[in-house]
Structure 1
Amino acid sequence: MATVVVQQPPQIRQSTPPPLGPTVPITHTRSSTPVPNKHLPYCPPGPVPSQSQITPPNSPPLRNAAPKPTSLLYPATGYQKLCNSPPIYGISVDQLAAALHHYASQPLPNPASVFPWLHGLHPENHIQLAFFVARKKSLRRTPKCLRGITIIKAGGDLSRSRIKGALAPDEVLNLSDSNGRGFLECDPREGFSVRNFHIQVAKMALVSDIVIYGDEDTDHRIIKSVAERTASVQRKWRKELENAGQCPETFNTFVLTQSFEDFEHEHPDLVAIDSQGRYTPHTLDFLQQERKEMCAMSKASEISQGLFQGPSPGPFTDPPSLADDPSYDLYIEASDHASLPDEKTLTAKRKQLEEREPGEEPVHLAFPSSGSILPPSWSQVEVDGILRMCKWLYELTHAKKPASQAKDEDGDIQMTEFTPRPRRVLLHCADGYTETSMLAVAYFMYAEGVPLHEAWIRLHCEKQRNFFAYPSDVALLNAIQERILREAPTADASKIASLEPPSWLAKLDGSLPSRILPYMYLGNLTHANNPEMLKLLGIRRILSVGEPVSWTEEQVKDWGRENLLMVDRVQDNGIDELTLEMERCLEFIGRGKSDGTATLVHCRVGVSRSATICIAEVMSSKGLSFPRAYCFVRARRLNVIIQPHLRFVYELMKFDEQQQEKRGEQICRELEWATVAREIAAMNRPYARS
């Protein structure tokens, strides 16, 4: 039976400093895709674990222990030897493709076998060492169960002719003459972090056979130089491990003996960017995929008669649109650089609309973005501007003539005037929900004649819009709602007289829980402690991951204890695992789905532990690979970036393997661990703290 623990949430104990920013540069070619409006919250790691947690028993890893993965690149005796000292081998395009396909089919080692080594354990980083390997120095050793394939493109130009997973030389090799020219020192020397995604490509290079290639413009002397450097570095690293008392595996350097064009022709499924610099549909780019998912989630829809809200038209909208969509008469873009349009501007835009012929491109207008009108400094002029815009939009979408064009003294419309047809208006911004939310909610209140709290719920539930508003927008709309309702075309005196806000609205900071699937929401502890709001959203079940709710006994009884599940003793510390809890959590979510109710999955911040469970549910229910499920959930978490830490991401990649086996499929990872980590690091870099 499901259980629930009800208590006051403990104070956050910050036993370690916040994570440091990346120290390893990421060479990553991107298109001009707009950066979504998101932020990285800080995830407290929880208290320092006890010694029993630091050194877990051996039984869990043995439970699902995977055999040591094999590689077609080892031993290298079957490959042409191009150089004896240092040893370098030749590899054909077919041999490389076979090795990569074989590698993708090998089960990843158990997480306990590779962590905490993958977290980064620099010998001088006493904080990280004390947290993970306080009394067990053997955990610092390089895992013998890891054997990867690292592909380096000589020359480093990854904007074209890029094999899936290929890196630039300086992402793994230290090219500085003053530092021994070894592998890049990737483990952070100071600070504490369980989200060192940026070091994973360099970490995996230490336990990989390395393949060097170039494109048609790469000088063969450069390829030879990079290969010789790599082989020498591998030999040097092996000696360092031997001197440290370890028995390291032997890893080799290979050079692709055929051209990239041959590889592209024979194995297009392993090409990320073709020789013309075009992204291929065969391999996943996280940033592009997130943009697609974001546009699919926030696809333009009608929120009130004639007014649509959605993402700015572009290649990822459905259908894709690089030009203005003539089915709309007016585009309103919410922008940080816009000012409130005055009467003169609106009159001029109305004239343009009257002169516009069907099929011509829409008229354009800008409006201030959400969060740009801040309390307590907003003025009556700004409030007048918001109301003026709402009234103007209502006249356009309801074919209502402005007061200046009223009927003549006999009550007849003058022969030179025509009643305008209702207009279709698109209110848009980059992500389809952030910058437009203030105007969208204000207009909905005006057009529908409803107070703020009702507009909030109806837009989410009835109109199926996912949106985010800044706390300043909540304060502004709450302050001016009486005037909005008084001037609304369907003004109701009874509603104006009873504007006492519900108690749940006072707890709202602008964000609702994120609707990941119709039956599953992802949120934080504040959301979980607002049961009145949750019921209005159709949420009837609560899955608490590591963080108990602070409910009264009466609230618990009202919901029913069977609808509350607490997963205890799981901190966001890079040590506690979630694999053992996944099936129980997904069963709980599944029962809600069967009952036609939604489940809120939450932890403290709603980005790591709970996000991990939500990603697992998306993988299970929709049959998506981990990379695609990650982008699916990340886009729908709206303005907060999900941050499952390294071990949780690794566990989800193992869960992906289990799902494939459950479906009767052979294991085949869509992307390898190092590539997944590199993509996540590159996606998060624009939001990282300076």
Structure 2
Amino acid sequence: MSSAPVPSTEDNVVHGLDYPPDFLSSLSVLLSRPHPHTPIRALSASQFATIHHTAINSHAPDHVLFPFLHGLEGDNQQQNAFFSVTSDTPVIPPCFRGLIWVACEDDDTPSSDDGEDSDTVASDDSDDEPGSDGGDMGHSFALDIDMDIDTDLDLDHSHRPEAPSSPASTSPSLRPLDTTCDSDPDNALHMHPVQPRAPRIYTNTALARDRSASASSSSTSSSHSFSMPSPSTPGTSLDSPPPSCLPLGPPSPEPRPHTAPLIASGFAPRDILQLNADGNAEFVPLRVPDGISLRNFDIQLPIYATLSDIIVYSRRGATRAAFALAEKFKQAVEARAGSRIPYNVFVLDATPVELRTKLKHLLVGPHTINFAQREKDEMRELTRATEILTVHAPGQDDKSVDVHPWTPGLGQVFLGNVNDVPFYPGNPSDPLARGIDLLDSAGNSPLDGMGYDVCIECRVRAPRPALGFLLSAQEHLMELERRWQASGGKGPRPPPNAAAIVYLPFPLIPIVDEMTLFLEFLEKLLNPTQQRGFGRPAKILIWSSDGYTESSVLALSLIMAMRSMTLPEAYLELQVVKKRSFFVYETDVRLLRAVEGRLARERHAKLPSPRRFLFGPTRANSLSSDFNSSAMSASYEDPGNAPIVSMRRPRASTSPLLPSLVDDHQVWFDDPRFDGSFPSRVLPFLYLGNLNHAGNAYMLHALGITHVVSVGECALIPPPTDSAPGVAVAPSPTKMPSPVAASGGSDRRGSLYIEEREGRIKVLDIKGVCDDGIDTLEPQLAPICDWIDRAREQGGKVLVHCRVGVSRSATVTIAYVMKYLRISLIEAYLIVRSRRLSVLIQPNMRLLYNLCGWEVKLAHERAAGDMERLHRELARCSNWPYLAREVYLLNEKYLHA
């Protein structure tokens, strides 16, 4: 396996940042250096804006930087051998120049708006000739500061705006030689200039703690605990409130940003420099992790810095400390010299006022994104409380009753996350003694006036639902109804006060008897025909911390019980009809199958369960014998012990193309390629999945998917032809073949190969793209996105897949989301990341770099020749080293959990 060669015709072409012939000579020289080294020069704010625009706009083709960026200069021989590179002849980009800007925080005290500091050295625009001593400015600096000076510089990360302001403290010096190159765990939150979003209003204790922690201390993304679990970790790590009410104090104030401006997507000196044994500055040495990795995002900054021009700036202007830091960088650049092109070091000579006026599109501000917080917000928005079940009175249905998100008089179940749970802001242990009006809905309207009677928290280690606790909850709701009637209230009872909500725990993996007991309890609260003193049907919120991991099992079980559906039908009801994304692990399918079997046998027998009397008038006489005999079983019930009776219903629009000979949805559900969860719905018409999803053609029909994009993994595999001797079935061009005929007589599974040949599903098969860090998607993103767009315009739905659904297909999906929603790479990446639910997407480095180039291409398309708009569009484009580091920090909490 070898790397793509660099064409010899490009050997003398400077890729990336390239200056006009007279640009560098026009800049003021701050400190001259002997040939062949370049001097330290001054940049104005306008000149920095020009350089930034040029650097982002001149995205180098990926073959210029890859495979070098994988870390071929390190001592990882396995990595080098994988890319067919020896340690003696590393593939160093011959002519590439990047751009990095570094903040010198010589003083934590914000500067005044007029921007002139006592130690700021004004720029001198005297006639300095190239190669001269630098005129008065160069001499004035040279008299006071020497290249070997060991000036203490502020190298921490407190210059980021999310960090709270603090008194000035002793600044640490450059890191010693033997320290690691990992990012400092105390650095601040993650930022990038993209479009702002309205802040969320946090209404519960867990999120209040979350915001308070962010405000009280700076932290990396790995310190944020909102969990999108890795595929091997079904649990989540966000602190979930206990099932009882918790006090809620006033929300913590937002961290106060520095008044002086800060340029977004920059770095601190310690991220790039360290002191060697002689006390001189050098670039942080490259430490490539052991083994072969295509996702070494943590080493991108040290590599990229050695191929870049460095701009040093201070929020206080062109200070002496900024110049001293520039000298340190000059030491490192000259020690690294040997490239075909020289690299430069600049000092930004601009006051805070000039930064605000001339670089306002590049500064940290309200438009700046916090990677970790945006990931949380996207996930919470995706799984916010939505109605998944409405129970009508006899003779009513969705057409005869105007059903709103919250409809009085109807039993309703909502599925949500921790942000949707109302908590009483006080001590609810004795609400009556405190004179609380239990019928006052204060604090119990988290979404559009909705209020809940019961909130069920699903989590792994939740206590099992004790029968006595359920009976107490039932009695509590009946007491609320009696109080409402006694108060002379008319109409349906309003939602109770937050202190009077019933909070119930429910474990992720209960036993079958406990599940059916709990389902019967909920059915009693929801069913309008069995009120018996309850008053109006209940409003129930089922929730887990992330909104899907622990709560999907209970939600599906309740739909099966209340709607008399099979498990596959419940899947489609939740995903297609209710448009609610969810995730079920393979280990949970067995429990769901057992619950399905129990419910089907009870419906088939048409006999009430003995436990139905637990909640009736004579329940006290049956508590001991029934509960002890049924609820103490510690094993799943095997649904194979008795036949499962399929409660069929018209398929309507949920599966319009299933062959008529396939009698129910069990076909695709029982397919060994089905792993318990659907592909991830990223947009209403766009799914992201794996190779097994693409091969399960009947499942694709059930979801309404009409187009498939196969990225490097062909799903068009002919079905087996193990038919019985003498049996030959020819496919008909006019009639859909039976699944038996399509598979050769013995396999009832659907085949994408057959469906594509018959024209029922269109397939775009992208060949020759391996997830190996060598193959590129750069030239194919545009035609793939155009193909998806045509499918959308035709009313189709598209599945994009590779083998696992995390790298190649994720790259294509991110590219399309960027184009369709007209958003930045960072926003699209976090949207797709959140919608992949429990699967952690991660394009390999080369593919993520392809998306940086795609972002520049889209910026030009949107600008359509308008240079002012192009400046704005490119200002929010991703800087590769910054993007790589933020992705690494965002993934670290999952990869090292």
- TM-score, with length taken from structure 2: 0.60
**Residues 247 and 526 of structure 1: is their aligned pair in 2 closer, same or farther, counting only changes over 3 Å?**
same
Give, in whole Å, the separation in 1 of the partners of 2:763 and 2:265: 42
- Whether the 8 Å contact between 2:280 and 2:331 is mirrored in structure 1 is no
After superposition, the Cα gap between the structure-2 partners of 1:513 and 1:114, relative to the gap in structure 1 and judged at 3 Å, is same
> Residues 306-321 of structure 1 correspond to what in structure 2 (within 5 A)?
306-313=412-419
> Deviation at 1:519?
2.1
Residue of structure 1 equivalent to 2:466 = 342
Task: Pick the aligned partner of 2:303 from 185, 203, 209.
Answer: 203
The one-letter amino acid of 1:207's match is: L
Range with greater deviation from structure 2 (108-117 or 578-587): 578-587
> Who is 1:296 aligned against?
381
- Counterpart for residue 118 of structure 1: 69
Q: Give the structure, 1 or 2, with the largest relative contact order (CA under 8 Å, sep 6 or more).
A: 1
SS state of the match for residue 281, structure 1?
coil
Aligned-partner Cα distance in 2 for 1:492–1:523: 42
Q: Distance in 2 between matches of 1:240 and 1:130?
A: 25
Cα separation, partners in 2 of 1:652 and 1:72, compared to 1, 3 Å: farther
| Partner deviation per Cα, 1:585-620 (whole Å, 9 max, x = no partner) | 223323322332222111111111111111111122
Match for residue 569 of structure 2? 454
In the alignment, what sits opposite 2:347? 254
Question: Take 2:420 and 2:322, find their aligned partners in 1: how far apart are those partners?
Answer: 40
Partner of 1:532: 698
**Which amino acid in structure 2 is aligned with residue 270 of structure 1?**
L
Aligned partner of 2:451 in structure 1 is 328
Instruction: Check if 1:238 corresponds to 2:334.
Output: yes
1:129 alignment partner, SS class: helix
| CA shift for structure 1 position 299 | 3.0
Answer whether contact 2:102 2:269 (CA < 8 A) is retained: no
For 2:881, the equivalent position in structure 1 comes to 674
Q: What is the match of residue 18 of structure 1? A: none
Residue 284 of structure 2 is aligned to residue 184 of structure 1: yes
Q: Which residue of 2 aligns with 1:647?
A: 846
Distance 1:58 1:87 in 2: 32
Q: Distance in 2 between matches of 1:208 and 1:582?
A: 28
8 Å contact from structure 1 (residues 80, 91) kept in 2: no
TM-score normalised to structure 1 length: 0.76
Whether the 8 Å CA contact 1:118–1:203 is kept in 2: the answer is yes
Change (3 A) 1:593 1:201: same
CA distance in 1, matches of 2:607, 2:51: 67
Tell me the distance in 2 between the aligned counterparts of 1:55 and 1:112: 6
The one of 729, 736, 755 equivalent to 1:558 is 755
Give how far 1:434 is off: 1.5
Superposed, 1:402-417 pairs within 5 Å as none
Aligned to 2:793: 594
Which of 749, 772, 776 is residue 577 of structure 1 equivalent to?
776
The 1:98/1:340 distance shift into structure 2, 3 A limit, reads same
CA deviation map 1:425-450 (0-9, x unaligned): 22122322222101111111111111
**Matches of 2:705 and 2:807 in 1, distance apart?**
21
Paired residues of 1:352 and 1:363 also in contact (CA < 8 A): no
Return the letter of the residue paired with 2:24. P
Matched, 1:497 2:645: yes
CA 1:298–1:65: 2 relative to 1, 3 Å: farther
Against the structure 1 CA distance between its residues 285 and 582, is the aligned structure 2 distance closer, same or farther, given a 3 Å change threshold?
Answer: same
Give, in whole Å, the separation in 2 of the partners of 1:328 and 1:69. 60
Aligned to 2:58: 107
Cα separation, partners in 2 of 1:181 and 1:235, compared to 1, 3 Å: closer
Are the counterparts in 1 of residues 819 and 858 from structure 2 also a CA contact under 8 Å?
Answer: yes
Distance in 2, matches of 1:299 and 1:443, equals 19
| Deviation by residue 1:185-228 (Cα, 9 ceiling, x = unmatched) | 13416422121111222223223343445678x9x9xx866753
1:42 equivalent in structure 2: none
SS at match of 2:347: strand
Aligned counterparts of 2:607 and 2:800: Cα–Cα separation in 1: 38
What do the CA deviations read for 1:78-118 (whole angstroms, capped 9, x no partner)? 347389899666666x4586357535652211111121222
CA distance in 2, matches of 1:489, 1:349: 30
Residues 104, 321 of structure 2: 8 Å contact kept:
no
- 1:8 is matched with none
Greater alpha carbon shift after TM alignment, 388-397 vs 547-556: 547-556
Partner of 1:616: 815
Following the alignment from structure 2 to structure 1, what is the Cα–Cα distance between the partners of residues 62 and 357? 37
Note the 1:37-186 alignment, pairs <5 A: 49=1, 51=2, 54-56=3-5, 58=7, 68-70=17-19, 75=24, 78-79=27-28, 81=30, 94-95=45-46, 98=49, 101-103=52-54, 105-134=56-85, 140-154=91-105, 155=154, 156=156, 157=158, 158=160, 159-160=162-163, 161=258, 163-175=263-275, 177=277, 181-186=281-286
Aligned partners of 2:323, 2:515: CA distance in 1, in Å?
Answer: 64
More divergent stretch after superposition (634-643 vs 144-153): 144-153
Residues 675/233 of structure 1: CA separation in 2 closer, same or farther (3 Å cut):
closer
Q: Give, in whole Å, the separation in 2 of the partners of 1:309 and 1:122.
A: 51
* Secondary structure class of the residue paired with 2:838: coil
Instruction: Provide Cα deviations, 1:364-394, integer angstroms capped at 9, x if missing partner.
Output: 5243454x45xxxxxxxx3222122222222
Counterpart of 1:628 (choices 815, 827, 835) is: 827
Conserved? CA contact 2:15–2:96, under 8 Å: no
1:516 counterpart residue number: 682
CA distance in 2, matches of 1:123, 1:67: 23
User: Deviation at 1:148?
Assistant: 0.3
Paired residues of 2:361 and 2:875 also in contact (CA < 8 A): no
| Aligned residues of 2:6 and 2:63 also touching (Cα < 8 A) | no
Are the structure 2 counterparts of residues 369 and 203 from structure 1 closer, same or farther at C-alpha, using a change threshold of 3 Å?
farther
Whether 1:388 and 2:497 are equivalent positions in the alignment is no
CA positional deviation for 1:128: 2.0
Structure 1 residues 638, 322: CA separation in 2 closer, same or farther (over 3 Å shift)? farther
Equivalent position SS for 2:799: strand
Distance in 1 (CA, whole Å) between partners of 2:518 and 2:28 is 72
Cα gap change, 1:281 to 1:333, in 2 (>3 Å): farther
Question: Given that residues 40 and 326 in structure 2 are in contact (C-alpha distance below 8 angstroms), is that contact kept between their aligned partners in structure 1?
Answer: no
Tell me what 2:537 maps to.
422
> Take 1:198 and 1:129, find their aligned partners in 2: how far apart are those partners?
18
1:401 to partner: Cα distance: 4.9
Deviation at 1:167, TM superposition (A): 2.3
Q: In the alignment, what sits opposite 1:484? A: 599
Cα distance in 1 between the residues matched to 2:554 and 2:669: 19
Corresponding position of 1:360: 497
Cα offset for 1:538?
A: 0.9
Equivalent-residue separation in structure 2 for 1:322 and 1:180 (angstroms): 61
Q: Is residue 2:585 matched to residue 1:470?
A: yes
Superposed displacement of residue 140, structure 1: 2.4
Q: Residue 353 of structure 1: CA displacement?
A: 3.9
2:283 counterpart SS class:
coil
Return the alpha-carbon distance in structure 2 between the equivalents of residues 609 and 689 of structure 1.
Answer: 23
The SS at the match of 2:692 is: helix
Residue 401 of structure 1 contacts residue 420 of structure 1 at CA under 8 Å; is this kept in 2?
no
Does the Cα contact within 8 Å between 1:336 and 1:369 map onto a contact in 2?
Answer: yes
Contact 1:150 1:204 survives alignment (8 Å): no
CA distance in 2 between partners of 1:437 and 1:266 (Å): 51
Offset at residue 163 of structure 1 (A): 3.4
Preserved CA contact (<8 Å) 1:69 1:147: no
